Amino acid sequence: MENSWKPKGWLSILYGFVLQPFTFLYVNKAKLFWFYLILTILVSLIDTKLHAIPNKEAWYQSVYFTWLIFLICPLHAFLISRRYDKAQIRKWYASWWATLVCFVVVFILTFLGRTFLFEPFSIPAKSMSPALNPGDQLIVSKRGYGNYKYLGIQIYKTEPSEALQRGDVVVFQYPQNPSIDYVKRVIGLPGDKVVYRNKSIFIKPSCLDESANCPSFKEVEKEYKFTRSEDDSEHEYYQESLGKVSYDIKLNSNHIDLANRYFYQVGTQQDEWLIPDNHYFVLGDNRDNSLDSRYWGFVPESNIVGRVTFKW
């Protein structure tokens, strides 16, 4: 491109505020674009983690470090535009329209990735402790579950092509209020019979032919690990094994099972459930501090958002 070109200062500032790192493409500095893009991502992750920690009195709860990016990017880009060397080679992205195109392409890729592949979530409560605690960040795999949303807005919905397994930790839309996302562990699959009694789980797997040699109820194994005092109560920690999956659970030794408040299914006992087709039974790992399938029933497979694949 021609060597007489020079980036406009006002546009460098505008792009710096609105597009942040992309302003450095406009001023012909690709290396700075990558530097500030990585810096923006890292700073955003730090802000997300700090503001997810449940400590409202901490100084960082009223501060966002990404504010610095909004100040630094336009200022740095403006200084580059003022001192721009016209003798340098102007790259293809160094124009007002090419910079916008780059931003739109990245936005579309981000939108598609977050909608159909992976989405971040935060843990606000203790119902999945000790595996997941308040402030933990999750990456949820959404591919194959058919429930595709972007920032809470339903984009597309189809029949799921992936089946969940016992022990999977999943994010789903709360059946009684689909605008709220819950995270729990899958305990029972469609057709299973589940009993929760005396803080123990019993599962009778689905059997299509009741006249055949169907498996009977089997208690989910759990092994005692230790006891810890928390919140003025004694909590016992166990390692529970569900198929090939092992995980820790927490039981409050002072808490009595509230079976009279359990979700009642016609034709079963108060603490027993037969899971309908296309539904799942879920529990929190913090068994005595979790609002789950015991109290409100089953999760339709159409409510499943995705499976937790990573936490930090």
DSSP string, 134-151: TT-EEEEE-TTS-EEEET
Compute the distance between CA of residue 132 and CA of residue 171 in angstroms, rounded to an integer: 12
pTM of the model: 0.88
In a domain, 80, yes or no: yes
Own/partner long-range contacts of 11-14 (Cβ < 8 Å, ≥24 apart): 11/96, 12/74, 12/77, 12/78, 12/80, 12/81, 13/74, 13/77, 13/78, 14/74
Q: Is residue 2 part of a domain?
A: no
Structural domain boundaries, residue 264: 121-311
* CA distances (Å), origin 107, targets 110, 115, 167, 207, 238: 5, 12, 35, 47, 44
| Helices first, then strands: H and E counts in the chain | 6, 16
Distance of alpha carbon 191 from alpha carbon 277, whole angstroms: 6
Q: Residue 183's pLDDT is what?
A: 98
Region of residue 176 (left: phi > 0; alpha: psi -120 to 50; beta: else) = alpha
In a domain, 296, yes or no: yes
Cβ burial, residue 184 (10 Å; 0-12/13-18/19+): buried
Each residue's pLDDT tens digit, 212-251: 677 888 999 999 999 998 877 889 999 999 988 999 999 9
Q: What is the model's pLDDT at position 1?
A: 46
> How many structural domains does the chain have?
2
> Which active-site residues does the annotation give?
127, 184
* CB contact set of 24 (below 8 Å; sequence gap of 6+): 30, 32, 33, 36, 73, 76, 77, 80
Same structural domain for residues 239 and 135? Answer: yes
The CATH code of the domain that includes 263 is 2.10.109.10
238 and 105 within one domain: no
* pLDDT by residue, tens only, the chain of 312 residues: 457 899 999 999 999 999 999 999 999 999 999 999 999 999 999 998 888 776 767 777 778 899 999 999 999 999 999 999 999 999 999 999 999 999 999 999 999 999 999 999 999 899 999 999 999 999 999 999 999 999 999 999 999 999 999 999 999 999 999 999 999 999 999 999 999 999 999 999 988 766 567 788 899 999 999 999 887 788 999 999 998 899 999 999 888 888 899 999 998 999 999 999 999 999 999 999 999 999 999 999 999 999 999 999
